[in-house]
Amino acid sequence: MKKVSLSDISKELGVSKTLVSFVMNGRAKEKRINDEVAKKVLAKAKELGYKADYLARAMRTGKSQTIGLVMADISNPFFSKLARSIENEIAKFGYNVIFGSSDEDHIKSGKLIEVFKDKKVDGLIICPTVGDKNHIKKLNKEKYPYVLVDRYFKEIPSNNVMVDNYGGSFEIVDNQIKSGRKKIAFINFNVELINMMDRFHGYLEALKVNGYELDNTLVKNVSFKDIEKETYEAMEELLNVNPKIDSIYFANNRLAFLGIKYLIENNINDLKKLQLSSFDGFDFMPLMQMHISYGIQPIEQLGISAVDSIMKQINNKEESSKHAMLPMDLSLIN
C-alpha cells in the first residue's frame, strides 16, 4: 500500500500543501488558518490513513515536536503540577514532553540538557539550579530555544517566567506584622537560588518598612539534602534560644510541612503564642491540626507562559530576554 503523503491530502481537498503541512504540524492556530478548514484537513488525513513519520520528519526538518523539561524533582507537587500544565498547554501544538529531574545538582541538569539536545528536542523548559549558569550561557551561544521557569540568573540574559517571590513574601510578612506579631522567625534554604533569595528580601523589606530591625538569630537556613533533620534543628534552636518568638514564616511548603510536624510531635500548639505562615502551601493544609496562612503560586499560569515563550521561539517569533513575572494569589493569608 502506498504511503499517504501531505500532497495526497492537499490534492483531495484542493488546498495548498503548505496549508496541509501547517495543520498537520499543529500550527493552524498560529498561522490563523480557519477552524473549519483545519478540521477538514484533519478529517481527510484520518480518512486517508495519513501517518506522520516523526523520526523521518525530525531528520528532515530538525524538529521532533518534543520539548525537554528539566526540573528539580518530578515527584515534588510543585513540579508535577507544573509538568501537567506544560503537558496540557503544549499538547495544543501537537507536542509532547520528555522530562528529567536534576535533584538541584547542576551536573545532573547539565547532562539532561545535553541528552535532550542530542535527542533533538525543539526546545527546553528549564528550572535551573545553582551552578547552571554555564549551561545557560552555552545555550545562549548556540541560540538553542529555551525558557527558564521559577528561577533565572540576573546577570545572564534569558527568556524566563518567574513568580513574584519578593512581592508575595513581603505581603505575607507585612500581614504578620500588621496582625501584631513582634518576633517573626524565618526558615529558608541555604542556597543562592534567586527565587529563595527574593523571598528573603521580601521578608527583610517588610521588617524595614514596619520599623523592625533584622534579628539574625531569627533567621535559619537549611540544606536541600538534609532538609528534615536540619528543619527540626532549626525549629529547636529558634524556640529554645528565642522564647519570645511569636511567628514563624517558612520559605516554602516543604519547610512548613516539616515545621508543623515538629510542632505537633512536640505538643507545641498554642497559636495565640505562635503564628505560622508559609510562602506557599499544599491542598491539605486547611485540614491540619495547626492553622497556617500561606500564598498560592500561579503554577498553571507558569506552565502556560513557559509554553507560550518556547513555542514563539521555536516558530522564530520571540524576542530574546523576555522576563515575565506572575503575581502570587494571596487570598488565603490572614
Shortest Å, Cβ 134 to a second copy = 17
Cβ contacts of 326 within 8 Å, gap of 6 or more: 161, 162, 163, 164, 298, 301, 302, 305
What is the smallest separation between the CB atom of 235 and a second copy, expressed in angstroms? 14
Give yes or no for residue 73 binding a second copy (CB under 8 A). yes
- 38 vs 194, which CB is nearer to a second copy? 38
Distance CA 17, CA 15 (A): 7
Three-state secondary structure call for residue 179 = coil
Contacts of 56 (CB under 8 A, 6+ apart): none
Among 15, 26, 37, 80, binds a second copy (CB under 8 A): 80
The footprint of a second copy on residues 282-301 (CB under 8 A) is: 282-284, 286-289
The residue written with cell numbers 510562602 in the block is: 279
Identified binder of a second copy from the candidate list 5, 61, 96, 321, rule CB under 8 A: 96
Smallest distance, a second copy to C-beta of residue 213, A: 34
27 near a second copy (CB under 8 A): no
CB 70 within 8 Å of CB 112: yes
Q: Which stretch binds a second copy (CB under 8 A): 8-16, 26-34, 92-100, 271-279?
A: 92-100
Query: DSSP label at 285?
Result: G
In whole angstroms, give the CA distance from residue 80 to residue 82. Answer: 5
Q: What's the one-letter identity of residue 204?
A: L
Cα separation, 312 vs 326, whole angstroms: 19
Q: Which is nearer to a second copy, 207 or 274 (CB)?
A: 274
How many CA atoms lie less than 13 Å away from 4 in the CB half-sphere? 16
| Distance in angstroms (rounded) separating the CA atoms of residues 250 and 217 | 15
Residue 144 within binding range of a second copy, rule CB under 8 A: no
Given 84, 137, 138, 322, the residue binding a second copy (CB under 8 A): 84
264 binds a second copy (CB under 8 A): yes
In the complex, least distance from residue 59 CB atom to a second copy, rounded to whole angstroms: 6
Of the two residues 155 and 265, which places its CB atom closer to a second copy in the complex?
265
Q: Name the residue nearer to a second copy (CB basis): 16 or 61.
A: 61
Residue 284 CB neighbour total at 10 angstroms:
8
Q: Where are the beta strands (DSSP E) in 179-226?
A: 184-189, 219-222
Q: Is 261 in the site for a second copy (CB under 8 A)?
A: yes
> 41-70: which residues touch a second copy (CB under 8 A)?
51-56, 58-59, 64, 66
Interaction site with a second copy (CB under 8 A): 51-56, 58-59, 64, 66, 73-77, 79-81, 83-84, 87, 96-101, 115-116, 118-120, 257, 260-261, 264, 282-284, 286-289
